[in-house]
């Protein structure tokens, strides 16, 4: 399913049904991404989102895209970057919680409190 979003370095754009671009369920910022594409990105693991973001950036850096294609690559890149950042924030929060738990446990280790 995640393979439906393909970033290329030529004049090709993401594959998918673009006829649904005009039907937005709620007012949102103008975007060429379909709901299906946004859902695919939202379900991507970190590594895939990161790799596809690198591809989108390279496609923009290589040039040769029309203005519409460039805007679409940029929108894809923004969505992928947000996904990756969200996943990293979740991991940071879990690590912080684990460190806080470890610090709390360490402060009572070997005490009478810990033995009860």
In a domain, 62, yes or no: yes
Handedness of CA 92, 94, 96, 98 (dihedral sign): negative
Closest CA relative to residue 54, chosen from 89, 81, 87, 31: 81
In a domain, 3, yes or no: no
Query: Helices in the chain by DSSP H: which ranges?
Result: 35-42, 46-62, 67-108, 112-115
pLDDT tens per residue across all 116 residues of the chain: 445 676 655 433 344 333 334 444 444 557 889 999 999 999 999 999 999 999 999 999 999 999 999 999 999 999 999 999 999 999 999 999 999 998 888 777 666 665 66
DSSP state of 23: -
In a domain, 23, yes or no: no
In a domain, 49, yes or no: yes
In a domain, 8, yes or no: no
In a domain, 1, yes or no: no
Alpha-carbon gap, residue 111 to 36, rounded angstroms: 55
In a domain, 65, yes or no: yes
In a domain, 5, yes or no: no
Number of independent structural domains in the chain: 1
Q: Which domain holds residue 95?
A: 35-109
């Amino acid at each position: 399913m995640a393979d439906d979003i393909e970033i290329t370095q030529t004049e090709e754009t993401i594959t998918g049904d673009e006829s649904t671009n005009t039907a937005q369920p709620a007012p949102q910022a103008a975007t060429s991404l379909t709901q299906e594409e946004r859902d695919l990105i939202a379900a991507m693991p970190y590594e895939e989102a990161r790799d596809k973001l690198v591809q989108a950036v390279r496609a923009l850096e290589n040039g040769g895209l029309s203005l519409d294609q460039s805007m679409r690559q940029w929108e894809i890149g923004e969505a992928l970057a947000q996904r990756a950042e969200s996943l990293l924030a979740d991991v940071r929060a879990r690590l912080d919680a684990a460190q806080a738990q470890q610090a709390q446990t360490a402060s009572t280790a070997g005490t009478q409190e810990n033995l009860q």
